[in-house]
Structure 1
Amino acid sequence: MTPTSPATEPAQTTAHIDRDYPLTRVPRGARKGWFAILVVVAGFIFFTPTMVTGGQVAGAFGFSAFLGLSMLASLILAFYVATLGAASARTGLSTVLMARLALGRVGGKWASLVLGGTQIGWYGITVGIFADLLASALGWEVSWPLAIFGGLLMATTAYWGFKGIEILSWVSVPLMFALCVWITVTSVDEVGGWGEMLGTTGDGSVPVGLALTLMIGTFISGGTQIGNWTRFATSARTAFLVCFGVLIVIETSMLVFGGVGAIAFGEADFTALLFTMGLAIIGVLMLTFNLWTTNDNAAYAFGVAGAELLDKNDKRPFVVGGVVVGIILAASGVADAISGFLITLGTVIPPLGGVIIGTFLFVWKGRDPGTDVTRVGAVIWPGVAGYLLGTAAAAFGAVTGIGSPAVQGVLVAIVATPICHLIARALRPTVDMVEPAAEESEPVSYVPTSTGV
């Protein structure tokens, strides 16, 4: 197979190039500044269900212990998400294209199906939350017309692409952050000040391991797709620092915002808390922007995944198709019924990130392998083996209740993947495998013919 670099990948006609580059590396000229990446990542991480999880956990520990656990969960997530973000920034590839290089063409299709499919499902669930929330505020007995309206509205920025998501994040993040700070101040006053808040004790109803699992699990599946946005970063260092810093600050804040409200008012559901505090109108406005930010990221993700799945260099038809399915799920009420199934699918998603991290750090040695994404083998067995082992570890934790399924799935996949590559090399020592280039600006081909079909 002839070595190729990103610069020599098959030319695309201008008429067929999606400016978000769903099937190719993002060229240097299209990269964004660090602040644009920060704003988009912040909007992605500002996830309302995270606050609900914080509320569910806080009452079991009291504020001081809960704060420590929140910071630990955020730290674990930050390392995972930031490393994936750095890998995509270094290569300029989306999460599903990274999965294609790590698992092969077949494995890449699996990643597109799982990641894209779950995002469509969550899109429907989020649209349903928006519709029910607005219907309650308006006093409507039916919410399906609002589901149709909200589903179409939320798709507009994703259809526009990275720039649309960036603009929406500029609006939604400050508004939601201001609301959360106000609720925190009000909650602290409700219990008599910070001294009283720090002195609260929990009922011990949630074990420490389960608490960490819940808080990490809230965002680890979504965080696996961080590469869809960090591939636009100018460097891996920028992507890592932005993702790590933003996730530590915002993820911890979101958990704490939800936790203090639950401790003060005895209400874990952030949406219900707003109604309890008499903030229905303001709350609906703020949450609408937050849910919109969440869903435009979801729509963008399943658009990119659909483009990879069918090898079409345009995400927009898949954004439209996924939105239609999501609206149908929301309007029919089916979305609520599949939430448990989507959570179950979360067991098989984090190991994908583990394989990508293991491949990037220990096989590619932190560099861009330079592989032409159109010329990848059908199956890269070491990556597939690492993924299956990671998924087995996650499933074991989910079934037995031992450990944290998502975390152990990621860790096993990270360790198993390079080991499987070493075994594959040992079994076929005569096949020359070119190492990644020493300079990021001049990558060479890394076509794993010794482990791919």
Structure 2
Amino acid sequence: MSDLKKSKMDDFELVPVPDSAKRSWWVISLIWLAIGIDISGLFLGAILSEGMAIHDALIATFIGSSILAILAMLCANIGFQAGVSTPLVSTAVFGRNGGKLLGAINGISLVGWFAFQADFFALILVEALGKTGIEISHFSALVGGGLLMMVTAIYGVRALGKLSTWSVPLMVTLITVGLYMASGMPSTPAKEIVAPMSMGEAISFVMSIWILAAVAAPDIARYAKTRRDAILGAGFGFLLGNSATIVVALLLTHLTGTDNLVEVFFGLGLGLMAIIILVFAQWTTNSSNLVSGALGMAVALPKVPRPVWVVLMTIVGLAIAQLGMVDKFTAFLTLLGVTIAPSAGVYLAQYYFIDKNEFNFESIEKAQDWMGKGLLSWVFGSAVSACTAGEFLNLFTLTTISAIDGIVASLLAYLILSKLGARGKNKEAASDY
């Protein structure tokens, strides 16, 4: 492989991103916007419309997206300072082996999410093309979409940036046209609430799609030219990117009276638009799953090149989807999500309340193999998250968002353990005199 091709494929998975590869905040924002505009967001909007009135659903969407934006901005700020990926950032509080452990868990989780999104992409694409008279198999749609996503991910975050500069304006334009055309349709009666949900449940749903992406914001933010670029990019991208497709789905459902969005677009005469949105939306979103997953695996097992990890993850993910294992994998994925999100609470506590200087590459390189204080806090946060998650123990409720419960719990645990550790050192120092 030529040095030029190697340099284009280098995603700086084990070292800080050099200044020559960094990008402005609007490019970072476009990447997050492209990731956020996905088909699962459209269908989440349809689900919300079945559970509450449209104005309540819009409030839940903006509250959930705002919380995600704040969390992403806090994590992105750390990623900018460290200049490295999320697993390497976590090395500062979990140790080198702890960072590898988080990288492996994150990588395995994202293989599953890649499989889920790829399967979803294939199902919807087959339905959409079928309405135009084009018949393709689920396998063909799955493999074709998977290869698109894989090629972009092999070239890393910079390729996502280039794809986003084309995909976001196109998707926004087509969605705007769809909304304009739907607004001219005859008014429909108010949709009946068939599955009532509380405001807390709705906010939790809104956040659930992108909570892990917010926690992994350093993966993208390390490419920002300035701290302002990193923070604004994450905040703008998450606030608008996460909410945009949900709001579009809510409005289309409200205007047309149906929550089958494929039917909506074809009913408006925008069948080609639906297919284009589908391809671009899932292309960028699922490429980002492969990018972050491969970064994690490259930290866990650095002897295997990152592009090889992308290819391996694609093959495994497509096999999981094709063999119908996605449904069986969902509970496992939720468990991994409960495990991953609380890790952010530990490095947020270290950076914002204890010592931000630990987050430089020199300190990360010198980290111990294991750092018990951070690991114990991570385990505690994961346990709290599992206890409040409806999918698991469901023993009690705190914020109604189990991932946030875990992040707050791990943050507080780390602060307490750090304070106790500092007191212990002070006593030892005093006894030496």
**Where does 1:68-87 land on structure 2 (aligned, <5 Å)?**
68-87=59-78
Higher helix fraction (1 or 2): 2
Aligned residues: 416
Conserved 8 A contact 1:87-1:366: no
Choose the corresponding residue for 1:33, options 24, 28, 38: 24
Higher mean alpha-carbon deviation, 32-41 vs 383-392, is at 32-41
Q: Does 1:183 align with 2:174?
A: no
How far did 1:237 drift? 2.7
- The aligned residue for residue 147 of structure 2 is 152
- Per-residue CA deviations over 1:28-87 (Å, capped at 9, x if unaligned) read 343222232222222222232122212211333322222222111111111111111111
How far did 1:176 drift? 1.8
- Per-residue CA deviations over 1:281-340 (Å, capped at 9, x if unaligned) read 321122101110011111111211111011238411111111111121222222343234
Conserved 8 A contact 2:31-2:237: no
- The aligned residue for residue 249 of structure 1 is 240
The structure-2 alpha-carbon separation of the partners of 1:409 and 1:56, relative to structure 1 and needing over 3 Å to count, comes to: same
The structure-2 alpha-carbon separation of the partners of 1:272 and 1:371, relative to structure 1 and needing over 3 Å to count, comes to: farther
Conserved 8 A contact 1:55-1:260: no
Following the alignment from structure 2 to structure 1, what is the Cα–Cα distance between the partners of residues 292 and 198? Answer: 34
Q: Does 1:140 align with 2:135?
A: yes
- The aligned residue for residue 213 of structure 2 is 222
- The aligned residue for residue 415 of structure 1 is 412
Following the alignment from structure 1 to structure 2, what is the Cα–Cα distance between the partners of residues 272 and 148? Answer: 25
- What letter corresponds to residue 239 of structure 2 in structure 1? I
**Where does 1:167-182 land on structure 2 (aligned, <5 Å)?**
167-182=162-177
Following the alignment from structure 1 to structure 2, what is the Cα–Cα distance between the partners of residues 89 and 282? Answer: 37
Following the alignment from structure 2 to structure 1, what is the Cα–Cα distance between the partners of residues 197 and 178? Answer: 24
Choose the corresponding residue for 1:346, options 332, 337, 341: 337
**Where does 1:94-133 land on structure 2 (aligned, <5 Å)?**
94-133=85-124
Q: Does 1:405 align with 2:405?
A: no
SS in 2 for 1:109: helix
Q: Does 1:311 align with 2:302?
A: yes
Conserved 8 A contact 1:59-1:259: no
SS in 2 for 1:240: helix
- The aligned residue for residue 297 of structure 1 is 288
Conserved 8 A contact 1:145-1:331: no
How far did 1:424 drift? 2.1
**Structure 2 unmatched ranges of 5 or more:** none
The structure-2 alpha-carbon separation of the partners of 1:277 and 1:312, relative to structure 1 and needing over 3 Å to count, comes to: farther
The structure-2 alpha-carbon separation of the partners of 1:14 and 1:190, relative to structure 1 and needing over 3 Å to count, comes to: closer
- Per-residue CA deviations over 1:378-410 (Å, capped at 9, x if unaligned) read 221221122122112211111326222112112
Conserved 8 A contact 1:86-1:235: no
TM-score where L is the length of structure 1: 0.84
The structure-2 alpha-carbon separation of the partners of 1:191 and 1:408, relative to structure 1 and needing over 3 Å to count, comes to: farther
**Where does 1:429-440 land on structure 2 (aligned, <5 Å)?**
429=426
SS in 2 for 1:428: helix
The structure-2 alpha-carbon separation of the partners of 1:204 and 1:119, relative to structure 1 and needing over 3 Å to count, comes to: closer
Aligned residues: CA RMSD: 2.8
Following the alignment from structure 1 to structure 2, what is the Cα–Cα distance between the partners of residues 146 and 52? Answer: 20
- What letter corresponds to residue 419 of structure 2 in structure 1? L
The structure-2 alpha-carbon separation of the partners of 1:16 and 1:285, relative to structure 1 and needing over 3 Å to count, comes to: closer
Identity among equivalent pairs (%):
22
